[in-house]
Amino acid sequence: MMRDVANIKMRDTPPADHIQQRLDMLEARVKDAMRAIRDAQEPDSRAPVESLVAGQSLFQTLSNGAEHDAATIADLLQTVSDTTPDLLCLLTPDGTVTWANQSLSDRLAHPEQRIAGIRFYDVLDEASSQRLESALSNPAAHDMLCLRIQATSGGTVRTAAFLIPMEARDGLCALIMQDLSLNRLLFEELQEARDNYDALSETITEAILRIDEHMSIVFANSAVRATFGFQPAELRGKPFSLLFPATVYERNEADFRKYFFVDNDDRESLGLANTIEILGNHKNRGVAPMEISFGNSKEYRGRTLTCIIRDITQRKNVERRLRQLAYHDQLTSLGNRELFERDMRRVLGTPAIFESGIAALMFLDLDGFKQVNDTIGHDAGDQLLIQTAKRLRKTLRENDSVYRFGGDEFVVLLPFLHERKGAAVVANNILAEVRRPFMLDISQDAPVNASVGVSIGIAVLPDDGASLAEITKAADLAMYSAKEAGKNCYEFYNATLKKRASDRWVLEQGIRRALERQEFTMFYQPLVNGAGTIIGAEALLRWFSPEHGQVSPGVFMPIAEETGMVVPLGDWAIDTAFRDAASWNGPDATPSVVSVNLSPRQFERSDLLDTVGRGIRRNGLDPGRIILELTESCIMTAPERSIATLQSLKERYPGLRVAIDDFGTGYSSLSYLTRLPADIIKIDLSFVSNLFAKSNEKIVGAIINLGHSLGLEIIAEGVETAEQFAYFSDKGCLAFQGYHFHRPLPLHDVRALMNLAGS
């Protein structure tokens, strides 16, 4: 699912500030060009003529003023040269240049001194030469001339010129020319700037609008069609409010005006972001999320504001999907741990809830889910979780929330209740819903019917905790209490649970230290045959703790199993039992067996075969002397896998035998039992202790008959009386163990008994 989101291609748009910079640059060029044009006027205006007329008057003064000597004339010519951008020169009647100003020299790319003496016809095109020649023949008869000068660089200078006869100066004429290319370049630059602005605004996929001080639209590019559904012409002159729902515009109008008057450089100091998100109003599709970037306000034909607007519907959808992935479980669509913690902080941060009521937190763990997952398959387990999520939602109110933390763990948050009884009502509803059978459609055959239960722990806010850590710990402890109470029920948290949890934690840490300190030891309960002869012993783990004294296996083994410490503990037990068994008999004694219990977690490990083989090789023990014991429920949790594992053990280590412990207390299927590569059935002591109760005797008889019919040997454990021993001996059982014969003994006592029996 994450890949689907990752493959959504977002539209690649330039950053808003980059777009605005490009627009501002073009606009500045347009303004500069317009200002220059206003100053220079257009080419066909009277500005060039007026300039030339002014020059003509000056030269006429020079031509008529006989009193001016050569030095004075030179000074006046220099003054004209320094104060005008026009191109000036003096020509003889045959067109020879006698003087030229610096501007003309620059345009012709000639040093000033080299222009004097050339024929001016040589720097003009043919038509201009003819016009100038005609004018020189009769200067008074001609008005303004159009002359094209050929510069030595290869360019052409287009000029407007006046020819002024200087009658007092031996037929000299003054030629005054104005370069018209400046005005043309300004217009070309203006046109280019306008074209670039239009091209940029039309190629950008975001809507670009300019609004004036009356909040009216003065410009809109063609992208407004996609963003708002309007043609650009429809928007020009229309109010900016047309593009937003009325209430949205009213809430934001004051901010729009701030952006109108405050430029980019000042916005940060005033707390204004350059980009805002807002709901826009599409002409045809209705309301859509929009993002607006604001450009600088400008001073051209009145103050305006540039707005770049993009439709962010796709982006919002992606963000919404990403939030769904970040805060929800992908299988069930329930909230996940992150969403739970966020919601819990909100509840804990709302004191008003607790002024008139309480809140409740429930931790739920499905009972029997692992069996469904392992027996029917993970697809069935997934379907069961999905259906459970739907059932939980159905039991809750609209403002209640349910989450999945992973596996078969669910959490329910009831944010407001009047009293604790309300939480009990919800818990009972959940128990009833989950208790109903689940129909799992996992194949083309008929749906599979599966049943599970649920253990519920309830913690009340604020009574059981004022922080997230405290309240979740309380609900978790209450859930484990429900499991210990028999499962498929609910329990409220109480103070005694905290002490039990503390005691459990102390024991857990003690188990870790006990492994390091070698505080565990092995005791052995002898196995005897019908003649009372010892034929082996069952290895039993014992813990003698300096802090806790002798700790019962019924106390520390469940903790070791849940925490995973049973794996290193079990490996140690296998190696120790095999080493001890190798020392029980002398060279001439009959070999005796050792029976070792495997925990469910040990049996599930992929390295079980290697662990057993390592113990055999290290201690030189014959596999024919080994019995591995597994409980019936452990085997039937995943029967197909169990069958494969046991077959592999027996194939790799010939002679090794397998015993089903506590037989009769589980739910073995006869179809699996006939395929199971087991050798021995151990009748559970709960049947043996009440052997002569009418119902028990029948069950025990049936178990023995079943075992014999399948070719299995029978071991009776918990034999405490001669009557019990006689009964099982008469039934042809392989071996017996119990207090009638021996209690569990330390190694040196068992070794002595074994050696005595073999002597």
Domain count for the chain: 4
Average pLDDT, stretch 304-331?
82
| CA torsion angle 260 266 268 273 (round to 10) | 20
743 exposed, middle or buried (CB, 10 Å; 0-12, 13-18, 19+)?
exposed
Would residue 24 count as lying in a domain? no
436 and 525 housed in the same domain: no
576, pLDDT greater than 60: yes
User: How far apart are the C-alpha atoms of 740 and 635, rounded to whole Å?
Assistant: 30
Integer Rg of the chain from CA: 51
Q: Closest Cα partner for 581 from 621, 526, 631, 634?
A: 621
Query: Who has greater pLDDT, 296 or 32?
Result: 296
Domain assignment present for residue 477? The answer is yes
> Residue 251's domain is classified under what CATH number?
3.30.450.20
CA distance 556 to 694: 35
68-97 average pLDDT score: 73
Tokens read off for 99: 């003087």
Q: Which two tokens stand for residue 66?
A: 């006989």
Residue 69 has pLDDT above 80, yes or no: no
Residue 18: enclosing H or E segment and its boundaries?
helix 16-40
**What CATH code is carried by the domain that includes residue 511?**
3.20.20.450
CA angle 433, 434, 439 (to 5 degrees): 100
Query: What band does 56 get if pLDDT is binned at 50, 70 and 90?
Result: low
Q: State how far the Cα of 566 lies from the Cα of 600, in Å rounded to an integer.
A: 9
Who wins on pLDDT, 669 or 364? 364
Q: Which two tokens stand for residue 663?
A: 């037989």
For residue 66, the model assigns a pLDDT of 45
Least reliable range by pLDDT among 237-246, 578-587, 621-630, 714-723: 578-587
Structure-model confidence comparison of residues 1 and 364, the more confident one? 364
Residue 430 has pLDDT above 90, yes or no: yes
Q: What percent of the chain has pLDDT over 70?
A: 81
Contact of 445 with 380, CB cutoff 8 Å = no
Average confidence (pLDDT) over 403-417: 92
Burial label for 255, CB within 10 Å (0-12, 13-18, 19+), is middle
Instruction: Return all residues near 609 (Cβ < 8 A) that are at least 6 apart.
Output: 645, 648, 649, 652
Domain boundary among 447, 463, 493: 493
Whether residue 739 lies inside any domain: the answer is yes
Q: Cis before residue 462, ω within 30 degrees of 0?
A: yes
Q: Is 22 a residue whose pLDDT tops 60? A: no
Cα–Cα distance, 689 to 727 (Å, whole number): 12
CATH code, domain carrying 335 = 3.30.70.270
Residue 429: predicted pLDDT: 94
Q: Is residue 124 part of a domain?
A: yes
Inside any domain, residue 27? no
What is residue 295's predicted lDDT score, i.e. its pLDDT?
A: 78
Same domain for 359 and 454: yes
Between CA 120 and CA 481 the distance in angstroms is: 115
CA distance 522 to 577: 7
Distances in whole angstroms, Cα of residue 693 to Cα of each of 274, 287, 462, 696, 698: 88, 80, 52, 5, 9
Same domain as 333, residue 312: no
Listed in sequence order, the residues at least 6 apart from 203 whose beta carbon sits closer than 8 Å to its beta carbon are none
Shared-domain flag, residues 303 and 369: no
> Do 604 and 706 sit in the same domain of this protein?
yes
- CB distance 73 to 62 below 8 Å: yes
Query: Of 179, 214, 238, at which residue does a domain stop?
Result: 179
Q: Is residue 563 part of a domain?
A: yes
Same domain as 657, residue 516: yes
Chain segment 446-496, per-residue pLDDT in tens? 778 888 999 999 999 998 988 999 999 999 999 988 988 888 999 999 888
The tens digit of pLDDT for each residue in 511-568 reads 888 888 889 999 999 999 988 888 999 999 999 988 888 988 888 888 888 888 889 9
- Token pair for 472: 């979740």
pLDDT at 361: 95
Residue that finishes a domain, picked among 271, 294, 317: 317
At residue 408, φ and ψ (nearest 5 deg) are -110, 30
Q: Are residues 366 and 436 in the same domain?
A: yes
Q: What is the 8-class DSSP label of residue 605?
A: -
560, 647: one domain: yes
pLDDT tens string 236-265: 899 999 999 999 999 988 888 888 878 777
pLDDT > 90 in the chain, percent? 30
Residue 16 has pLDDT above 60, yes or no: no
Does 597 fall in a domain? yes
Verify that 110 and 211 share a domain, yes or no: no
Position 55 pLDDT exceeds 80:
no
Domain, as residue range, for 689: 506-758
Distance CA(329)–CA(334), nearest Å, equals 5
Residue 46 confidence (pLDDT) above 60: no
Q: What pLDDT score was predicted for residue 1?
A: 41
User: By CB neighbour count within 10 A (0-12 exposed, 13-18 middle, 19+ buried), where does 313 fall?
Assistant: middle
Low-confidence winner among 90-104, 285-299, 390-404 (lowest mean pLDDT): 285-299
pLDDT score recorded for residue 111: 72
Instruction: Please report whether residue 42 resides in a domain.
Output: no
Average pLDDT over residues 406-412: 91
> Using an 8 Å Cβ cutoff, are 292 and 20 in contact?
no
Query: With 80 as the cut, is the pLDDT of residue 181 above it?
Result: no
- What is the number of other CB atoms lying within 10 angstroms of the CB of residue 715? 25
> Distance (Å, rounded) from C-alpha 649 to C-alpha 610?
10
pLDDT in tens, 593-622: 999 999 888 898 888 999 999 999 999 999
Write the CB contacts of 581 (distance below 8 Å, at least 6 apart in sequence): 537, 592, 593, 594, 619, 621, 625, 626
pLDDT of residue 37: 40
What's the pLDDT at 683?
Answer: 86
Does the pLDDT of residue 739 top 50, yes or no?
Answer: yes
- Cα separation, 370 vs 373, in Å, equals 5
Residue 475 and residue 569 share a domain? no
Instruction: Specify the pLDDT at position 666.
Output: 54
Q: Is 417 helix (H, G, I), strand (E, B) or coil?
A: strand
pLDDT of residue 654: 94
Judgement on whether residues 451 and 414 belong to the same structural domain of the protein: yes
Whether residues 344 and 488 share a domain: the answer is yes
Of 35-44, 118-127, 568-577, 645-654, which range is least confident? 35-44
Q: Say which amino acid occupies 752.
A: A
Which residue shows structure tokens 């931790």? 363
Q: Which two tokens stand for residue 452?
A: 């599970």
Which amino acid, 112?
A: E
Average pLDDT (70-77) is 59
